[in-house]
Amino acid sequence: MKKKWWKEAVVYQIYWRSFYDSDGDGYGDLKGVIEKLDYIKSLGIDVIWLNPFYESPDRDNGYDISDYYSVMEKAGDMAIFQEFVQEIHNREMKVIMDLVVNHTSDQHPWFQESRSSKDNPKRDWYIWEDPKEGKEPNNWRCYFAPSCWELDPRTEQYYYHSFAVEQPDLNWKNPELRNEIYKMMRFWLDKGIDGFRMDVINLLAKREDFSDAENPSDISYLANNPGIHDYLQEMNREVLQHYDAMTVGEIPFVTPQEGLLYVDEERNELNTLFHFQVADEMPTWDMIRFKRIQASWYDGLKGKGWNSQFLNNHDHTRQVTRYGNDGKYRVQSAKLLATMIHTLPGTPYVYQGEEIGMTGVRFDSIEDYNDIAMRNKYHEEVAKGRDPQEVFESLLLLSRDNSRTPMQWNDAPQAGFTGGEPWIKVNPNFKEINVEAALKDQDSIFYYYKKLISLRKENEGMVYGEYHDLLPDDKNLYVYTRSYNEVTWLVVLNHSDEQREYTLPEEFQHAEKQLIIGNYELKTNSEESLLDPHEARIYKIS
């Protein structure tokens, strides 16, 4: 396994529109991020992943791009973007951008041309099909709508969209389109960015056969279709291999064996991936399932491909709420989850606010929510005659807005995020949970993250060490080792609300061991076998 900077890095994801508003318009912006770079650097972060900021009608908060060569006015302008990149590099950090090339906005000039007539030169830059028996070409659902086909009356054909109606898919079969995307990628790499997070990159190739799906609610037919690896290897040849760029693919619906095809270093496609077995198969915490997923990916990628570790992002609710305990044990639970993410094999990702234990949110009505995925689903279900309040309640836990409420900087109005009216409400718990309070408290989640990140930076074993799960069948305790060059790290986690007895394995009982990091006060030896609720410990065994 070759050593690489992006394997040793810790990545901080910035959903800029909720991060810090420097001009009072109620949206975060790039200038606001620049003002907070020292805060991010102080955590020990190496790489920043910035969500899309290109010109967009914002139907899907920037994931519907109408101009790939621009900066949307809410975020700033190209001069501010260049300053942003420079300020990050001045602090010896790197920045990767979101590459959204499976689809554009329906307001993109390319689509406006493509839809204008059947013989427009850009018609084939998108995917058009004739009606079938007067209806959609097939029964496929998509992520944000009941059908992945939308009729365009002007030419009496349907266009294909994997997400919202406002997000038509690009036709990657078209070499002219592909070359246009490669040109755009070089434009941004030449501006000094250090790589890309690639949005649903395994959806670029579509099924050859548009016949009906047996089970249209299992939308995995949108992904991993023939041709995808040819496109990614071509992208690598045409662009990526010419730069020292980090690439992380967002790759839903893959097994470890399929995932390896995207990140096997010998295949020259992507460096690493986000798979979604946890997010898609664990609506709430299931320790055994999580361990099995970790083991399958460790064995599946071992030695040939590189994983990423994350439990939340701008699409998935905050980890301490969804997978931990955001009530009585919020601080201990946040620290336990972080201990796991920063000591398991793969590059760890910190989503803004996770480092201070920000929680999910519960607003009063659907009008308080912005997420197109949630709003579309709400209206679709209510249109079927279901009780609106029941539908609303059913969508709360997994609404993407849980993780999109403004960053909580202090206990001033609007949590210090904006001097104006925020685009989405602030989580009411900002008076207790905010950066200012965290920085004043040496026992805060923030300083615990800082310790974890520096431990990983100072010890290659945390990056490249062998992983071994010592208790694969325990549904509360997670105990594993990372071994590298004669040093073994032992991680002991009690992911439960109860105290639990735990006796170190015989092999470690009499070894020289040192408790390096823990989320409870140091224990005397007599108590060592008793784990408190959500207690996490990292021992160095030498």
Query: Considering only residues 270-329, where is the footprint of ligand TEU by CB under 6 A?
Result: 276, 279-280, 314-315
Query: Considering only residues 6-65, where is the footprint of ligand TEU by CB under 6 A?
Result: 60, 63
Q: Which of 110, 480 has the CB closer to ligand TEU?
A: 110
**How far, CA to CA in Å, does 434 sit from each of 85, 124, 421?**
26, 50, 19
Neighbouring CB atoms inside 10 A of 4's CB total 16
Neighbouring CB atoms inside 10 A of 204's CB total 25
Q: In the bound complex, what is the minimum distance in angstroms from residue 535's beta carbon to ligand TEU? A: 30
- CB burial string 490-521: b at 16+ within 10 A, e below: bbbbbbbeeebebebeeebeeeebeeebbbbe
- Residue 460, Cα to own-chain centre: how many angstroms? 24
Rounded Cα distance between 406 and 14, Å, is 11
Using CB under 6 A as the binding criterion, the count of chain residues that bind ligand TEU stands at 14
Q: Report residue 515: phi and psi, to 5°.
A: -75, 110
Q: Which of 29, 60 has the CB closer to ligand TEU?
A: 60
Q: Which residue of this chain has its Cβ atom nearest to ligand TEU in the complex?
A: 63
- Mention every residue, 6+ apart, whose C-beta is less than 8 A from residue 243: 189, 195
Under the binding rule (CB under 6 A), the answer on residue 143 touching ligand TEU is: yes
Binding mask 467-506 for ligand TEU (x = CB under 6 A): ----------------------------------------
Rounded Cα distance between 272 and 433, Å, is 33
Is 250 assigned a catalytic role?
yes
3-state secondary structure of 445: helix
Query: Considering only residues 184-213, where is the footprint of ligand TEU by CB under 6 A?
Result: 199-200
Query: Considering only residues 146-175, where is the footprint of ligand TEU by CB under 6 A?
Result: 163
Q: In the bound complex, what is the minimum distance in angstroms from residue 517's beta carbon to ligand TEU? A: 30
Q: Which of 243, 276 has the CB closer to ligand TEU?
A: 276
Q: In the bound complex, what is the minimum distance in angstroms from residue 163's beta carbon to ligand TEU? A: 4
Binding mask 401-440 for ligand TEU (x = CB under 6 A): ----------------------------------------
Sign of CA dihedral 310, 316, 320, 324: negative
Rounded Cα distance between 336 and 248, Å, is 25
* Residue 42: both structure tokens together: 């102080």
Neighbouring CB atoms inside 10 A of 59's CB total 18
Q: Which of 164, 331 has the CB closer to ligand TEU?
A: 164
Beta-bridge partner residues of 249:
198, 273
Q: In the bound complex, what is the minimum distance in angstroms from residue 476's beta carbon to ligand TEU? A: 26
3-state secondary structure of 160: strand
Q: Report residue 250: phi and psi, to 5°.
A: -85, 110
Q: Catalytic pick from 166, 169, 250, 315?
A: 250
Closest listed residue to residue 318, CA positions, set 282, 363, 354, 348:
354
Is 364 assigned a catalytic role?
no
Q: Catalytic pick from 58, 64, 199, 354?
A: 199
Q: In the bound complex, what is the minimum distance in angstroms from residue 226's beta carbon to ligand TEU? A: 20
Rounded Cα distance between 264 and 191, Å, is 28
Q: Which of 143, 423 has the CB closer to ligand TEU?
A: 143
Angle between helices 330-341 and 445-458 (to 10 degrees): 20
Q: Which of 276, 464 has the CB closer to ligand TEU?
A: 276
Binding mask 60-99 for ligand TEU (x = CB under 6 A): x--x------------------------------------
Q: In the bound complex, what is the minimum distance in angstroms from residue 428's beta carbon to ligand TEU? A: 25
Q: Which of 314, 330 has the CB closer to ligand TEU?
A: 314
Q: In the bound complex, what is the minimum distance in angstroms from residue 275's beta carbon to ligand TEU? A: 9
Among 168, 252, 353, 416, binds ligand TEU (CB under 6 A): 252
Rounded Cα distance between 34 and 290, Å, is 36
Q: Which of 127, 279 has the CB closer to ligand TEU?
A: 279
Among 93, 100, 148, 340, binds ligand TEU (CB under 6 A): 100
Query: Considering only residues 501-540, where is the footprint of ligand TEU by CB under 6 A?
Result: none
Q: Residue 146, class by beta-carbon neighbours within 10 Å (0-12 exposed, 13-18 middle, 19+ buried)?
A: middle
Q: In the bound complex, what is the minimum distance in angstroms from residue 153's beta carbon to ligand TEU? A: 25
Which residues form the interface with ligand TEU (CB under 6 A)?
60, 63, 100, 143, 163, 199-200, 250, 252, 276, 279-280, 314-315
Catalytic residues: 199, 250
